[in-house]
Structure 1
Amino acid sequence: MLQPIEPVTEPATPPGHPRDLGGPWHSDAACRSDEAGLFFAPSKEPTAARLAREEAAKRVCARCPVMLECREHALTQPEPYGVWGGMTAAERRVVLARRRRREVELQRPAPQIAVAG
């Protein structure tokens, strides 16, 4: 079951941070010091092990100063595998589908309402 993502109320990058000058966001990622195996599934991983690994990866993401940049990168690329920005590949597919539906809805002309008179 997909878990709701808590909104972040503080900016991921403090003002005046070196990334403001064009530095790469991933250089400050919390996952740089963790094993990639935490964020990417081995082949034929049992479901219970996958869920536990994904939750552990999400805990790393939750304390990451560039979580939002990472998430947006994974959504715009799109990254088909792994936990990026605190979201699994399945969660990102849901977000991308919602974005596509919203874009289609915004392109539709507004219905005309007849004025009674």
Structure 2
Amino acid sequence: MYVSKIRDVTTVSVAKVPEARLEWVSQALCRTTNPDELFVRGAAQRKAAAICRHCPVIAECLADALDNQMEFGVWGGMTERQRRALLKQHPEVGSWSEFFEARRKRRRRTG
């Protein structure tokens, strides 16, 4: 059977990435690593999370992953399981960036 119908092509608009996100992403230590190293299972996740340990934008990365409910990979030094647990612990959080910023401010006042 030969099909000669031409289908309509739908244009998909790509959302612009917020400038603030571009700023922190460009500073991420993992930007120069093989992305496959961050999307691993089991004990290899600890090794992947070690890449994040000294990253200057670890908090921004984690907040972004939590805000966007990234299911797979290591983000902001946390594994999939750790992020799921954090989301369950704090279902009331609307913005993880704001949550972490408020936490930092409290620590500065008390420390």
The TM-score range, normalised by the shorter chain, is 0.5 to 0.7
Gaps of 5+ in 1: 1-20, 42-49, 104-117
How far apart are the structure 2 equivalents of 1:52 and 1:33?
Answer: 22
Q: Deviations over 1:23-63 (max 9, x none)?
A: 5211000001111111013xxxxxxxx33321111111001
How many residues were matched structurally?
A: 73
Equivalent residue for 1:83, pick from 74, 77, 89: 74
Q: Determine whether 1:99 maps to 2:90.
A: yes
Runs of 4+ in 1 over 3 A off after TM superposition: none
Given residue 68 of structure 1, which amino acid in structure 2 is its aligned partner? A
Q: Determine whether 1:24 maps to 2:23.
A: yes
Given residue 92 of structure 1, which amino acid in structure 2 is its aligned partner? R
For residue 10 of structure 1, what is the aligned residue in structure 2? none
For residue 37 of structure 1, what is the aligned residue in structure 2? 36
| TM-score scaled by length of structure 2 | 0.60
Q: Percent identity?
A: 38
For residue 56 of structure 1, what is the aligned residue in structure 2? 47
How far apart are the structure 2 equivalents of 1:52 and 1:34?
Answer: 19
CA RMSD of aligned residues (A): 1.6
Q: Deviations over 1:67-111 (max 9, x none)?
A: 0000000000011100000001111000001111xx3xxxxxxxx
Given residue 82 of structure 2, which amino acid in structure 1 is its aligned partner? E
